[in-house]
Amino acid sequence: MKLLRYGPPGTEKPGLLDADGAIRDLSGVIADVAGDAIADFGWANGLDIAALPVVSGTPRLGACVAGTGKFICIGLNYADHAAESGMAVPPEPVIFMKATSAIVGPNDDVAIPRGSVATDWEVELGVVIGKTAKYVSEAEALGHVAGYCVINDVSERDFQIRRAGQWTKGKSCDTFGPTGPWLVTTDEVTDPQNLKMWLTVNGEKKQDGATTTMVYGVAHVVSYLSQFMSLHPGDIISTGTPPGVGMGFKPPQYLKAGDVIELGIEGLGTQRQTVVAD
């Protein structure tokens, strides 16, 4: 299934994308695409998609999962991105948190924060937890995943690197977490380590990679994180980015108001954001 949430910010309704690309309303079946619904897909057994109401027009899409408790990110998880950042591949996954208040819909505006001089882009594979994971093995890990999505891990590099402290302050500004368009359930993703991914700015290709070059794969990351904290249904893990971020260019290239970012991952849909000044 391709689950989604549609409608104005704060009042989104649950839905799914049918085989013809139409949005079907799920609000008569589940309250939201959130923890309870993605922890147990029993409600989907025998679901007659053709009988669900069709949503007319082209409504705004919200983030594809609601009620996220933790937004966990993995840094330097592509060897070629680590190289362009001038950093070594870490001996264990680098973990940092992104504030959940950064989460927005996949096509909502991205706002450059006040004082920013280095707002950057990052296409990433998002992993949405479906079953609580604590001390799980790598072999068990994918059984705790509800599905996958596209994430733009928007980053302010000056805040992240030069303002002292951990990376969170450069990752958590409002609108810095476009998520979706869909939560694609695991039965539709044959191999999360074999997905092409890309990003353009104003139509110019910046990132062109694949999850095949991820240093620490999804199963490893879920298992690893579960050794330090419980992962709960609705938690999101953003698994790192391939090369081609603005910081890696010489000279660096950063976002400015009026820019248009487009990005996508094979089978998981696309995003499109216009950059505005906050």
Domain boundaries, the chain: 2-51, 71-277
Fold of the 71-277 domain:
Fumarylacetoacetate hydrolase; domain 2 (3.90.850)
pLDDT band for 237, please (50, 70, 90 cuts): very high
Token reading at 39: 């922890």
Residue 95 tokens, joined: 């973990």
pLDDT digits (tens, 9 = 90+) for 182-232: 999 999 999 999 999 999 999 999 999 999 999 999 999 999 999 999 999
Confidence of residue 143 (pLDDT cuts 50, 70, 90): very high
Res. 85 pLDDT band, cuts 50 70 90 = confident
| Each residue's pLDDT tens digit, 247-270 | 999 999 999 999 999 999 999 999
Q: How far is CA 226 from CA 60, 99, 124, 140, in A?
A: 34, 19, 20, 11
Residue 1: closest CA among 130, 151, 138 = 130
| pLDDT tier at 167, thresholds 50, 70, 90 | confident
Lookup: tokens for 228: 């330090």
Over 80: is that where the pLDDT of 68 sits?
yes
Please tell me the distance from the alpha carbon of residue 189 to that of residue 10, in angstroms, as a whole number: 29
Is the pLDDT at 87 greater than 90? The verdict is no
Query: Averaged over 131-154, what is the pLDDT?
Result: 98
Q: Can you give the three-state secondary structure of 20-59, one letter per residue?
A: CCCEEECCCCCCCCCHHHHHCHHHHCCCCHHHCCECCCCC
How far is residue 23 from each of residues 34, 108, 143, 277, measured CA to CA in Å?
A: 18, 18, 27, 32
184: nearest Cα among 266, 263, 109: 266
Chain centroid, CA 167 distance in Å:
17
**Pair of tokens at residue 6:** 């549609």
Global pTM reads 0.96
Helices (H), the chain: 35-39, 79-84, 138-141, 157, 168-171, 218-226
- Contact in structure between 243 and 122 (CB atoms under 8 Å): no
Residue 211: φ, ψ to 5°: -70, -5
Going by pLDDT thresholds of 50, 70 and 90, the confidence category of residue 83 is: confident
pLDDT at position 88 is 80
37 backbone dihedrals φ, ψ, rounded to 5°:
-70, -30
